[in-house]
Structure 1
Amino acid sequence: MGSNHYQNASHGASSAYYSRRAHTATGHGVRKPQAKAKAKSVDANAIATGEKRLRRYRDKEPLSFGPILERATTQRFYVLSQTACGTDDCPELFLQVSGSTGNVYDVCIAQQPSCSCPHALAGNQCKHIVFVLKKVLRASHHHVYQLALLSTELVEIMGKASQRAHAASWDQRTGEDGRKAVEGDCPICFDEMGVGRGSEPLVWCQGACGQNIHRRCMEVWAATKRQAGRAAEVPCPYCRAPWTEAGAGADRTSRSVDIGRAKFTRDGYQNVADQVDVSTRRDYSTYSRWWSGHPDYYGRRRYR
């Protein structure tokens, strides 16, 4: 009996052993090795300068950035004002930008760029900041998709932008009437200017520098530079000399429209759509339906 008990025990142990082997062979119950932690991105600039970046460094463009960049570079925005601030070692730029629906947003390019639009206030990277970095300042693409910039990067970005602006203002290539050649970007919307069929009408600074500007953009610029009831002169966006223009339509660039008369939206933003002739209806064709501001989104909260 003892022998049978021993044999049964041995058989049970052997069966359990082979059962575990079979279980292991089929892959069931096998502990999979843990995935290796993703290597941390190396911020070479921060290491070299010893400066801490205020947001996580991005070593490559995230997938979510593509649609933002598309909207920033295809929709029409107007730069209503620019103010340089900060210090020589850490320059900053404050701008007022008229959005695609006429809302006026405050954009600040600093170590942590910010915007007063709802999308940015919700913690997202917004098209207005990307527009300023990409089209106004022409920052390198690697800087455009970052959420924070180092002071040394700001010095580089602002320095190059200042050099381009200075070169454009003092370009001496002129025609017989003192007008500069039509080339480069408009200083208000930062879209490329052109001549010929299909191109937007242009005006030029006839009193001083001779630079060209989209007529529509100059009208918007003039509208925001004139205060209602005051006879302030409209400066040229390039050279800041009093704007002089002759010919048909010249009066439109000196009409008195006050940004202080802007209507307020239900979200509390100043809106100049009626003054710059744009629609207040947002074009959602390039927006994901999963975006909380989309009219077809029924999530927890909506941001317009």
Structure 2
Amino acid sequence: MSRHKRKAAASSEDEDEVECWTASYLPVASGEKRQRRWSSQPNAQVRPRIERALSQRLYLLEKEDLGAEERLFRVLGSTGNAYDVRISRSPSCSCPDAQKGNLCKHQIFVMVRVLKCDRDAPIVHQRALLGVELKSLFHRFDQRRWQPPEVNEATKQAYLEATGRSPRKPGDSKVKVQPDDDNSGECSICFEDIGGAALVRCEVQCRKALHQACFDQWARVAANLTCPNCRAPWPSRGTSQVDSSGVATLEGYLNFAAPQGLSTVRDTSTYADFHDYPRYHHRSSYRRRYRETLPI
């Protein structure tokens, strides 16, 4: 190959690789058209989501290659729900926040914690990506020297069982029924015999039966609802259940809070809106009172 051809080939390879993960990155000039307008700075709705993505306990559950310009990352959310994050020309997530049209913390988590983009890189908060950017991100990820924050082995096994991919011996059941399933013994709350009363059972971990009335009192005073016996997070009532195969669900999603050691109670301490800040109300009320004292 001649020197000019080698130079042209090297130049072509360089064009196929852009350092879009850096904070100084600017869109490349190419024949591609971005499906959404480029945003140079994250807006007021995105900035707190970036903070949540970096401060809350989020984990990578699984990754799947869907092509040169698309990858699927299954992410374990802060309450243990499993969400599908697709990094493609139009990034998306299956979580409720993204379904409302927002750029969610799970997408940002994948971009920053998994794909290792700089948190200040403009690519992190873009609603649309170019093919050259996707190829560069995925190539760098495939050659990575870092370990993404992944779920523990117990959660991996629970996920494989929930999706029917865990190797099992013939005759094994998905749920190992404990001796406590015979509804005998004492209630872990009142320490009296559990027979002859309405019962509720820990369906996440120990499967211990408890008096329904005792548990209702326990639930009313508990800050973070857990099983009184094994201390596993107790799924919130009305939104959670354990299906017939023993797979825990929350808000319609597979939930792995118990094996990962997460609480199913959502932490909303970082969800305050700017207009909820006392300082804002203080200043607004001060201005209002001041205007009321002015002569008409």
TM-score (norm 2): 0.53
Cα shift readout 1:166-202 (whole Å, capped 9, x = no counterpart): xx4xxxxxxxxxxxxxxx545416xxxxxxxxxxxxx
Paired residue for 2:263? 279
Deviation, 1:277, is: 2.5
Q: Of 154, 172, 188, which residue of structure 1 is paired with 2:150? A: 188
Number of equivalent positions: 173
1:120 paired with 2:104, answer: no
Partner letter of residue 275 of structure 1? P
Distance 2:124 2:273 in 1: 25
Greater relative CO, 1 or 2 (CA 8 Å, sep 6+): 2
Deviation, 1:63, is: 3.1
Name the SS of the counterpart of 1:152 in structure 2.
helix
Deviation, 1:85, is: 1.2
Distance 1:121 1:153 in 2: 24
* Pairing 1:91-106 to 2, within 5 Å after superposition: 91-106=69-84
Paired residue for 1:45? 27
Deviation, 1:51, is: 1.3
Paired residue for 1:225? 160
Paired residue for 1:300? none
Query: Where does the alignment leave 5 or more consecutive residues of structure 2 unmatched?
Result: 1-24, 170-242, 276-296
* Pairing 1:16-27 to 2, within 5 Å after superposition: none
* Pairing 1:41-120 to 2, within 5 Å after superposition: 45=27, 48-87=29-68, 91-120=69-98
Query: Where does the alignment leave 5 or more consecutive residues of structure 1 unmatched?
Result: 1-42, 169-183, 190-216, 233-257, 292-304
Partner letter of residue 47 of structure 2? G
Name the SS of the counterpart of 2:132 in structure 1.
helix
Change (3 A) 1:152 1:220: same
Paired residue for 1:264? 249
Partner letter of residue 231 of structure 1? R
Change (3 A) 1:155 1:285: same
Deviation, 1:44, is: 6.1
Distance 1:82 1:67 in 2: 26
Distance 1:152 1:229 in 2: 37
Deviation, 1:139, is: 2.4
Name the SS of the counterpart of 1:49 in structure 2.
coil
Deviation, 1:135, is: 0.5
Partner letter of residue 157 of structure 1? L
Cα shift readout 1:252-302 (whole Å, capped 9, x = no counterpart): xxxxxx9x743233x4222222332211100011112479xxxxxxxxxxx
Name the SS of the counterpart of 2:72 in structure 1.
strand
Name the SS of the counterpart of 1:66 in structure 2.
helix
Distance 1:151 1:142 in 2: 16
2:157–2:166 contact (8 Å) kept in structure 1 = no
Deviation, 1:66, is: 1.8
Name the SS of the counterpart of 1:188 in structure 2.
coil
Partner letter of residue 83 of structure 1? E
Partner letter of residue 151 of structure 1? G
Deviation, 1:92, is: 1.2
Larger Rg: 1
RMSD: 2.7
Q: Percent identity?
A: 38
Distance 2:85 2:166 in 1: 28
Change (3 A) 1:186 1:107: closer
Deviation, 1:81, is: 0.9
Distance 2:140 2:166 in 1: 38
2:79–2:264 contact (8 Å) kept in structure 1 = yes
Partner letter of residue 259 of structure 2? Q
